[in-house]
Every structure is written in C-alpha cells, then in structure tokens.
Copies of this chain bind each other. A is one copy, B any other.
Amino acid sequence: MLNIRKLSANAEGFKAELEALLAWETVSNDSVNEIVKDVLKNVRERGDEALLEYTAKFDRLTLAKGSDLEIPKSELEAALKRIPQDQREGLELSAQRVKAYHEKQVMKSWSYTEDDGTFLGQQVTCLDRVGLYVPGGKAAYPSSVIMNAIPAKVAGVPELIMVVPTPDGEVNDMVLAAAAICGVDRVFTLGGAQAVAALAYGTETVPPVDKVVGPGNIFVATAKREVYGTVGIDMIAGPSEILVYCDGKTNPDWIAMDLFSQAEHDEDAQSILVTQDAEFAEKVYLSMNKLVKTLPREEIITKAITDRGAIIVVDNEDQAIEMINYIAPEHLELSVDEPKALLPKIKHAGAIFMGRYTAEALGDYCAGPNHVLPTSRTARFSSPLGVYDFQKRSSLIMCSAEGANMLGQVAGVLADGEGLQAHAASARYRVKD
C-alpha cells in the first residue's frame, strides 16, 4: 500500500507538520557552482571555440565550426511534417489557444495631461531579443516551447532564440515542430550552462539576448542565477505541486489520477488532497493504490507520494480555504459544485482549476493559460509567466513651464531636506523668477 501522510487539520502539532511538509530549500551545490562559473567564464572569453568543446564533451556531438551549431529553419519545418498528424494538430490547437489567452494580457501605453499642461504617462515596449532554453533528451517537452515562446511573440519580441541540446545528435521532432509552430526565429543545438552563457554574453555565432527563460537542470538553473543582472531571467522553479480541494463528490479515481499527474513529474513533486469528507479521503487513497500500478512511472510516483504527499481532512470549507491561502499552491483544483463562489476568498495560487471537469493536465497542455507557475509558496508574491515578462515600461514626464514652476519649488524643499543640493538647484532653475 502507498504510504501517504494522512493528517487532520485539528490534530495537535498539525501546523508544525504542515510546515515541515511544505518546506523546500534549494540546496546550493558548491561543486556545481564551480563548474558553472568555469563554463560561463570560458564561453564569455573564448566564444564559439568553448561552445564546440563543451558540446563535444557533454552532448557527445562533434561539430566543425560555430555555424554548425545552428539548426536551420528547414529542419524545423521538416520535423513538423514528420510528426504524426494528431500530434501536429494537438500542438497547433495548443499554440492557438495559448495565443488567444495571452493576447488579453498585452499592456498598452497610456498618458494624461494635467490642467497646467504637464504630461505624464507610461510607454510600454517589448524586449528586443529573448533566449528560450529547452531541455533535451528524455525530458524534452514541446508544451514548454509553446508556453514560453507564445507569450514572447504576443508581446512582440522580434527575435526569439531557442537553444536545445541534441545529445548524441538525437533530435526531438515534437520540440522542433513546436518551435516551427510558435515562430521561433533561430535554434541552436546547445545545452547546459554553456547554452545560458552563449545567450547571456553572445558569441561569434549566437547573438546575446536580453532575457533567458525556460526550465533546465541544476547546471542551467545555476547558470541563470549567475547571469541574472547581465540579462533578465524568469523564475527559478522548485518542484511542481498540486493541491486538490474536493467536496467528496468527484469520482475518486479522477482525483487520484490528478494527484498522480503532479507526482509523476519527479520524486520531489508534491500532491496534497484537502477534503472535509473523511470517507472520500479513504476512497481516493484506495484509488491511488489501485491506479499506481497501472502507470509506467509508478516508482517516481510512489516516492513522491511517500516523501511529500498528504491527504488532509478539514472540518469545513472555511478551514480548507485557510489552508489553501497558507499553502499558496502552484496548481489548485477546486473540485466542488460552485467553484466560482470560492474565488473571492482565494488569495494565493498560481493557477486555479475549477469544477470536476477541469483536470490540471488540461492546463498543462492546451486550456490557454500558461503552465509556468510560481512554486513553493511563492504564489504569495509572484505570478504565472505571461506577456508581462516580455514587455517593460518607461515612465514619461514632460513638464510645462507652469508645471515645472510648481514642482520645482516642492522638489527644492524636499531635496534640501535630504541634503541633496544639486537636486535642489537643478529643480529651482526651472522655477520662474
């Protein structure tokens, strides 16, 4: 039988147990840090030459010259033609729905003019060039290409550069097909810290970008942390998590499988069921035991459920909501009759899946919203990846002579108060005599 924690929200010591369950500290690894720093330095100083060496070493792929690193667009189109029809249609539908959703996010410039003629506003622009990291090998996810590339393109980013390692020369057709569908501009066969270095600093072949996004292993994550400041980065995600809140009226098999769809990601993933129905909790547990055996990733699921899973029984809905807001889950399923009624009470969650039909997996692939979401309680202060991450704002200020006269006097007083006399003088030059 699966060994999942069964907790009661009213039990003594529950809060401490919950805290321990949720605790996740990214372990920084000194030897990884050393290696990554070395790779970054090398690529920064030696450019393509270093890239070719690392690619030969880590991906066992020997290329003659820098330009061989580029996968031509014709290859992407060929991959798109090669994949099965249903996969192609699936990717296309996904891209189309993700685009439609993200188009609602586009920020627009605005401005207003005050009575004295002073003009204030905010100019919204997009990033010039963005780099998208896509993992290679087994964990190659075309859905991740769609979720990162589409918001950048909707924001208007003119140049989107993708890097994806092809270990032993092995190419993932679905990933290349997704790149073709999303309008990725250039693709390089690069992975690991060397790919992040190439994007951040640029080489003879790879142009430097302004922001690097996309998931990766610990070397990639460490490299992104290191180059942050030189370029922007997206969040560095922790393990994936789901909190399913169910009133006890959904098919327990469905709920069990929803919990497993997180647990199968990796052994650190977290799946939590919250319900006020203790009998239902037991039914889900039985379903889990029955279903786990049917899944190819049984081993990963079993470890994730044992180490980090939980079934929590609460007294009532209010207690469930309190728990949700405390946990601030990356994925929240509200498997209840009237999920919309709960929304005003839910303060912290990455994405909210409402009703019995809305499996979290639908959001991973094709519902429309992004699947890159804040993990490890960071939904308390951060948001899903979106068009916002590929746009930026510049403040606009244009004072009329009248406006500058008034504001100059005030700024002069406040600058004097802060002991900044050049500020005061600069402001007062604009005050009428």
Q: Which of A269-326 contact B (CB under 8 A)?
A: 291, 294-297, 301
Known contacts A383-B393, A421-B296, A426-B261: A414-B358 contact under CB 8 Å: no
Cβ A411 vs Cβ B366 within 8 A: yes
Scoring A residues 55 to 85 as 1 if CB is less than 8 Å from chain B, else 0, what string do you get? 0000000000000000000000000000000
Give the chain B neighbours of A91 by CB distance below 8 A. 414
Tell me how far the C-beta of A378 lies from the nearest C-beta in chain B, rounded to whole angstroms.
7
Q: In the bound complex, do residue B110 and residue A104 qualify as a contact, i.e. CB atoms below 8 Å apart?
A: yes
Given A261-B426, A392-B379, A423-B261, the answer on whether A397 and B138 have CB atoms closer than 8 Å is: no
Flag the segment in A11-19, A118-126, A185-193 that touches B: A118-126
Interface residues of A in 328-357 (CB under 8 A from B): 339-340, 343, 346-355, 357
- Confirm or deny: A217 has a beta carbon within 8 angstroms of a beta carbon on chain B: no
A389-433 vs B, CB cutoff 8 Å, 1 = contact: the mask equals 000111111111101100110110111011111111111011000
Give A355 to B396 CA distance when docked, in angstroms: 11
Please tell me which stretch of A1-9, A46-54, A163-171, A252-260 contacts chain B, meaning at least 4 of its Cβ atoms lie within 8 angstroms of it.
Answer: A252-260
* CB atoms of B87 and A104 under 8 A apart: no
Interface pair A352/B396, CB less than 8 Å apart: yes
Q: Is the CB of B101 within 8 A of A120?
A: yes
Name the CB-closest residue of B to A97: B407
For A397, the chain B residues whose CB sits under 8 A away are 351-354, 358, 362-363, 367-369
Q: Is A153 in the interface zone, CB < 8 Å from B?
A: no
* A268 CB-CB contact with B under 8 Å: no
So how many copies of this chain end up in the complex?
2
A263 at the interface (CB under 8 A from B): yes
Inter-chain CA distance A214–B411, complex, in Å, is 21
Knowing A350-B395, A354-B397, A380-B127, the reply to whether A410 touches B112 (Cβ < 8 A) is no
Interface residue A94 (Cβ < 8 Å from any Cβ of B): yes
Which chain B residue lies CB-closest to A358? Answer: B399
Q: Which of B119, B127, B357, B425 contacts A257 (CB 8 A)?
A: B425
Contact check, A232 vs B382: say whether CB atoms are below 8 A apart. Answer: yes
Least CB distance, A222 to chain B, in whole angstroms: 14
Whether A421 contacts B351 by the Cβ 8 Å rule is no
Assuming A125-B347, A261-B425, A352-B397, what are 5 further A-B pairs, CB within 8 angstroms? A232-B380, A260-B426, A359-B426, A365-B411, A370-B395
Sorted nearest first, the 4 A-B pairs with minimum C-beta distance are A232-B381, A369-B395, A357-B404, A354-B398
